[in-house]
Structure formats: C-alpha cells, structure tokens
C-alpha cells in the first residue's frame, strides 16, 4: 500500500528513511506550535483554541501534500503572515480577528482558483525576482522588529519613535540568551535547534519563578472559540482588498520558492526546476491547507523551508510529510506546555527566522539603482509601517516608476504595470 501511495522504492528510499526524515522535519519546525498561538493571542484570539488550530491546520496541510502531491514538504501556519495578521491587520489597521480570518479564507480560495486554472504560473513568472526577494526581506525585517519590540529591546520614544530599552532587565536579557542558544544549536546542527532553545528558556523561566508549571499533557483545549469564526463579509470590504492581496501574494511566493528549493535538494526536480507532476498538486495542497486553517482559526498555512532538513535526512516521498502531519496531531495533547512558553522564549526564535529571511539580500544587484531602490523601500517600509501590504504596495510602485524614469521601462512587464496601477489607485482612494 505504501509503495502504491508514495512510490518509496521507485524513488530509491525506504519506509524507515521516510519516517526518520519526517521526525527530523517536525523537530525543526515544531517551534510554530508555541510561537503561533502566542502571536495570534495578541490579536485577542483564544490561545488554547489557536494552539489546536495550529496543530490541525499543519496536519491537514502535511497530509494533503503527502497524499496528493507525494512530496516530502511539510506545512504549518507561516511566520510573517501570522505577524502581519496580528500586528498589521488587527492591532494597526483596527480590524477584528474574525475579519482577518475572513481575509485569510478568501486568500486561500483565490490561491485555490489560481492553482486550479493554472494562472499562478503566469503570476510567478510575471513578477520580477527583485520584488520577490524584496518582499521576503521586508517580512524578515518586520519579524525582527516584532521580536525586538516583544523582548523590550526596542521601545517607543516620543521624539525618535523608537529607542533602545533597558536591556539589563530580565526579559530583554533572556530574549538575547534565547537567540544565542538558537544560533549556537543551529551552528552545531542539533536536531530541533529552535524548539530546544524555546524549551530551555521555558525551564529557566520555571526555575526563576517567572513561569508557573501547568503540566505537560492534557486533553486538547476546545476549538470552539475560533472554529468557523471568520467574518467573510467584513473581509469583502474594499479597504480589505490589499490585505487579502498581501496574504495571497506572500503565500504564493513563499510556497513557490520553498517547493523549488526543497524538490531540487531532494533530487526530484529537473534542470528547469520542474517537479514530478508539476506545481499544480503542490500548490493546490497549500491552498487547501490555508482554507482549512482559516476555518479552524489560524493565519495562512504554507510550505516550510525547514522541510529541507528532512530531505537532507533522506526523505523523498510524501510519506515524510504524512509522518510530520501525524506528529502535529499528537502535539494537540501538549497544550499545557505551549501555555507556559514565555515571551522571551519565542522572541529569540522569531529573530532567528527573521535573519534567515534576510539572506535574500545577497542576491540583489546593489550596483543597479532600479533593482536596489524597490528592495530598500520594501525592506525599510514594511517594518516601519508595520504592514506587509503597505510594503508590497510601495515596493511595486517604486520598482515600476524607477525603471520608467531610468529608461528601463521595457523591463517592466504588462502585469506589473497593471498591478502598479491598482496599487496607486488603492493608495489614492483607500489609503
């Protein structure tokens, strides 16, 4: 049965190898079951319900990816998108978390339609690589700012907007220690480096009396506070268009980049980057996971680059993803542990993920102002406006008009001109 479903032998693998690869992938990305509920709880959502939704959305995504696309790629609610959900859409723009969930749901439906009608390839090819890299780095800077803010390392200031906080206090010190542990464990290739650092910081919190022990195992919390709570009508308002678009675009680019990178590492992609069965089933899997996640009560579910760790352990089939999905299901019984995680345990992890996303800066041609300018705009204005949507908007406008005024207007595709016009109209009439 396993051979028929996953072609394990045909891909020169074994069931044992696939199971080990699945466990490896899970350990590298399991931090999300602690970080995601903490971030979405700041939007007013029930942390226990979000914990269960995170685990189940990840499980659904992994199972669909494994069974439908037969790829060793795991999914879970994405970092960056969850931060935009809370700090951008809810806390900054003032929408309810139910409306934000509605926007996630609509972005998932659009993603599904784009995948089903094969429009996503046109979009992926039409958007310049510079803007794709810029959006990734902008999200990285956004996450870095959130991590530093939550840790108390940077604080608000009436004259300068932000300034250095008192880093000798307990929370900033522990946040920095948490990051140093992640960096040290990662440099030594320890399995589950991020999760291990989070658990160590939680133990420090317990021994210092800053965290109360609530147990490790329990029956799963109720999903009722978030289940089917998305407000689709509110998400259909014109002012929410850029939010839906931001969720969609970031998810699309993030997923596409992850699929290409991981399948190439697994030796499953050809010289042109095409994978077995094409992008279609993989992108459909991702869109289904996002729709299911919104219904359960979490932000966009997306493919994780951490899947490369499982591939490095030998994973080549969807059985790897199915194993990850099974482990996420088992995780719902560890809700008390997730509830004990202090902010300084997750701040270091978020900052580490931010650094990974900033790696794309090395691929930018900094000698070409028409390439450097839009990336710089997205990189700086995404965190400073506290909005991925605004960062994308201003990045597109800068790219198009910089190319046009510098005599390189032929490098701007028709689709980018159309999107830029829509963004300009959005700025004028919506804000």
Query: Which ranges of 117-159 would DSSP assign to H, the alpha helix?
Result: 120-126, 129-151
Task: In the chain, count H helices and then E strands.
Answer: 20, 4
Query: What is the per-residue pLDDT for 332?
Result: 92
Query: What is the per-residue pLDDT for 276?
Result: 53
Query: What is the per-residue pLDDT for 126?
Result: 67
Instruction: Kindly report whether the global pTM for this prediction surpasses the value 0.85.
Output: no
Which stretches in the chain have pLDDT values below 70? 118, 120-126, 257, 260-261, 264-266, 268-279, 429-431
Please choose, from the candidates 84, 121, 120, the residue with its C-alpha nearest in 3D space to the C-alpha of residue 104: 84
Query: What is the per-residue pLDDT for 54?
Result: 94
Query: What is the per-residue pLDDT for 194?
Result: 81
CB 153 within 8 A of CB 134: no
CB 197 within 8 A of CB 342: no
- Residue 356, H or E segment: helix 343-358
Domain count of the chain? 1
CA distance 146 to 164: 14
The parent domain of residue 407 ranges over 2-358+367-429
């Amino acid at each position: 049965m396993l051979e028929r479903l996953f072609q394990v032998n045909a891909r020169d693998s074994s069931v044992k190898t696939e199971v080990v690869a699945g466990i490896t992938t899970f350990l590298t990305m399991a931090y999300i079951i602690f970080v995601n509920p903490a971030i979405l709880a700041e939007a007013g959502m029930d942390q226990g319900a979000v914990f269960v939704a995170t685990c189940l959305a990840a499980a659904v995504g992994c199972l669909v990816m494994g069974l439908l696309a037969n790829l060793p790629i795991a999914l879970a609610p994405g970092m960056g998108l969850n931060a935009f959900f809370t700090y951008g859409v809810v806390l900054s723009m003032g929408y309810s978390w139910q409306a934000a969930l509605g926007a996630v749901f609509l972005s998932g439906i659009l993603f599904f339609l784009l995948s089903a009608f094969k429009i996503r390839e046109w979009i992926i090819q039409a958007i310049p690589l510079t803007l794709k890299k810029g959006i990734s780095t902008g999200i990285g800077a956004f996450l870095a700012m959130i991590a530093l803010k939550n840790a108390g390392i940077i604080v608000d200031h009436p004259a300068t907007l932000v300034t250095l906080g008192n880093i000798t206090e307990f929370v900033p010190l522990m946040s920095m220690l948490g990051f140093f542990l992640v960096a040290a464990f990662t440099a030594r290739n320890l399995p589950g480096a991020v999760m291990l650092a989070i658990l160590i910081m939680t133990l420090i919190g317990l021994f210092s009396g800053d965290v109360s022990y609530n147990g490790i195992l329990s029956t799963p919390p109720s999903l009722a506070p978030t289940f089917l709570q998305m407000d689709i009508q509110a998400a259909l308002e014109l002012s929410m268009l850029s939010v839906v678009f931001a969720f969609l675009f970031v998810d699309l680019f993030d997923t596409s980049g992850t699929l290409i990178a991981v399948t190439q590492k697994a030796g499953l992609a050809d010289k042109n980057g095409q994978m077995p069965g094409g992008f279609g089933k993989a992108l459909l899997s991702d869109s289904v996971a996002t729709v299911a996640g919104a219904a359960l009560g979490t932000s966009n579910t997306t493919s994780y680059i951490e899947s490369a760790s499982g591939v490095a352990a030998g994973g080549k089939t969807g059985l790897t993803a199915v194993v990850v999905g099974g482990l996420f299901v088992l995780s719902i019984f560890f809700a008390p542990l997730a509830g004990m995680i202090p902010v300084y345990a997750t701040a270091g992890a978020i900052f580490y993920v931010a650094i990974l996303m900033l790696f794309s800066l090395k691929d930018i041609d900094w000698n070409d102002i028409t390439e450097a300018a839009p990336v710089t705009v997205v990189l700086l204005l995404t965190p400073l406006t506290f909005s991925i949507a605004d960062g994308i908007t201003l990045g597109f406008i800068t790219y198009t008009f910089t190319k046009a005024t510098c005599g390189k207007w032929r490098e701007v595709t028709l689709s980018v001109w159309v999107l830029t016009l829509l963004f300009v109209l959005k700025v004028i009439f919506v804000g």
